[in-house]
Amino acid sequence: MKLLLAGVVSLIATATCAAEITPEARRSGYDFAAAATRAMQDDDTANPGMLWVLQGETLWGTKAGAAEQSCADCHGDARSSMKGVAARYPAFDLALARPLDLEQRINQCRTAHQRAEALVWESADLSALTAFVAHQSRGLPIAARSDPELGPAIDLGRSLFQRREGQLNLSCSQCHDDNWGKRLAGNVIPQGHPTGFPLYRLEWQSLGSLQRRLRNCMNGVRAEPFEYGAPKAVALELFLMERARGMPIETPAVRP
């Protein structure tokens, strides 16, 4: 009887383990990184992501496109005008009737207002501008809007997060909800909170977006990755931001 009871208790324990991470138990990828990596992120003169932030600051004041306008001509000083903006993205765009992430919003602004060509995903310029804008929110809590329009996209993101896929038949949730803190090969599995994007990944030797990171993970489970900017990718980003609500932005973070 005792044995049976123990079995039931362990079964319940497994079942609870598979649930979503409670707000108190949430931890940024920073906490799982090695001390040397954390030190790199903490020191702005050792954090290579700051090179992109610097470049982004230059681009912010550079005129572009047929409208001969720079970001600063409309938005002024990013330190005040962009403060907290990244913490609210992806956000719903009424004209396009779908959520846009920060990279898409920058490109939207470029094509619609600057009448310039959209920047290519993962290009140095787009990464730099995104990093510069997101850097203005460093330390602020993630506060994705609670617009009712975002509901369906968050639900889609949640279902994508929980759905098994790829040849390895794994869902995001199986690693990042159920097995965080354990090791996958030599690496600690983090909880997968998008607190520091765009971030400098030592493996990439460059700055990269959340979408690039998601594509990495999808390749890892041998699934077909989303195209850059695909609505499903944005929905997943949105769900992850919702999941990390209240955690502070770290951009530009440094991760292994």
Partner 1 sequence: MARVLLNVPPRAKRGEIVEIKTLIAHPMETGYRLDNAGGSIPRDIISLFVCTYNGEEIFRAELFPAIAANPFLAFFTTATESGEIVFTWTNDHGQTQTETRPITVE
Alpha-carbon distances, residue 52 vs 24, 49, 91, 131, 176 (angstroms): 32, 5, 24, 7, 28
> What is the closest distance, in whole angstroms, from the C-beta atom of residue 49 to partner 1 in the complex?
10
CB 219 within 8 A of CB 208: no
Question: Would you give the binding string for partner 1 spanning residues 147-186, x where CB under 8 A is met?
Answer: ----------------------------------------
Q: Give backbone dihedrals phi and psi of 207, rounded to 5 degrees, phi first.
A: -85, 145
From candidates 188, 202, 217, 221, binder to partner 1 by CB under 8 A: 202
Of 124 and 221, which has the nearer Cβ to partner 1? Answer: 124
Question: Would you give the binding string for partner 1 spanning residues 41-60, x where CB under 8 A is met?
Answer: --xxxx-x-xx--xx-----
Of 55 and 107, which has the nearer Cβ to partner 1? Answer: 55
- What is the rounded distance in angstroms from the CA atom of residue 240 to the CA atom of residue 246? 12
CB 32 within 8 A of CB 190: yes
> What is the closest distance, in whole angstroms, from the C-beta atom of residue 187 to partner 1 in the complex?
18
Task: Answer yes or no whether residue 225 interacts with partner 1 by CB under 8 A.
Answer: no
| 238, amino acid identity | L
> What is the closest distance, in whole angstroms, from the C-beta atom of residue 39 to partner 1 in the complex?
11
Phi-psi region of 93 (alpha: psi -120 to 50; beta: other; left: phi over 0): beta
Q: Among all residues, which ones are annotated catalytic? A: 217
- Residues in touch with partner 1 (CB under 8 A): 43-46, 48, 50-51, 54-55, 202, 205-206
